[in-house]
Amino acid sequence: MKKGIAAAVLAVAVLGSARAQDSEGVRFGLKLSPNLGWLRPDSKGIESDGTRLGYSFGLLTEFPVGQNGNYRFATGLFLYNQGGGYTVDFTYTDAPANPEKTTTLENTVKLRYVELPLTMKLMTSEIGYIRYYGQIGFSAAFNIRAKADLTRPVYFDPPGEAFVESFETLEDEDIKDDINVFKAGLIIGGGLEYNFAGTTSVLAGITYNNSFTNILNDVEFNGKKAKVYSDYIELTLGVFF
């Protein structure tokens, strides 16, 4: 993970250095944006279970591509909180002579990532004081915190450890070991910028982040490896200076 972060930071630094001679077109800003996240299971017996409100904030950076300023390489460094819920169909027995039973286990996951987006931003020329844009690219995110409210089985002590005695509910359980460190995703968005004066503009738009990678790290349910993806839609709010 350290090597990945170092490489990403180096890439941004090199690109910034290459554009230093044309610094008039380089823009910096800040973002503070709410998001609505959900989990997208891709395993039998696991279902999505609702959305969760989150937020992101951090540094916006844009580098001009070409001469007219309508095309930009847009990146930055963000901290975002996001999550969602999922349910698991859990099959178990509670005594040797009893038949199998099935119950639903509910889980709510709360994740925190450091994100480095790598996108292209296509902008219109100014119409009045407004410029409209579309944005597409990729997200590289690194998990730094993972907690969950979850329900799990409690097994009898030996020799009947294979049988479930009861179920317990845990809150804010640390599940960082069960979450993959790296998460990649597709970014698609659009919106507008309103210019106040000089280089100062406010940004408002909608951004969708679609995860490519399984967020779970070798987690099994009912003897099979589980696949769950983490998506969110964001109300992107920012200001360029």
Burial class for 219, CB neighbours closer than 10 Å (0-12, 13-18, 19+): middle
Mind listing the pLDDT tens digit for each residue in 128-171? 899 999 999 999 999 999 999 998 888 887 655 678 888 999 99
What digits encode the pLDDT tens for the residues 193-241? Answer: 999 888 899 999 999 999 999 999 988 876 788 999 999 999 999 999 9
Average pLDDT over residues 54-79: 94
With 70 as the cut, is the pLDDT of residue 28 above it?
Answer: yes
Q: How far is the first Cα of the chain from the last one, in angstroms, to the nearest whole number?
A: 32
What whole-number distance in Å separates Cα of residue 99 and Cα of residue 225?
25
Of 232, 226, 233, 234, the closest CA to residue 107 belongs to: 226
Number of H helices, E strands in the chain: 1, 12
Q: 2-240 adopts what CATH topology?
A: Porin (2.40.160)
Q: How far apart are CA 200 and CA 24, in angstroms?
A: 13
**Alpha helices per DSSP H over the chain:** 2-18
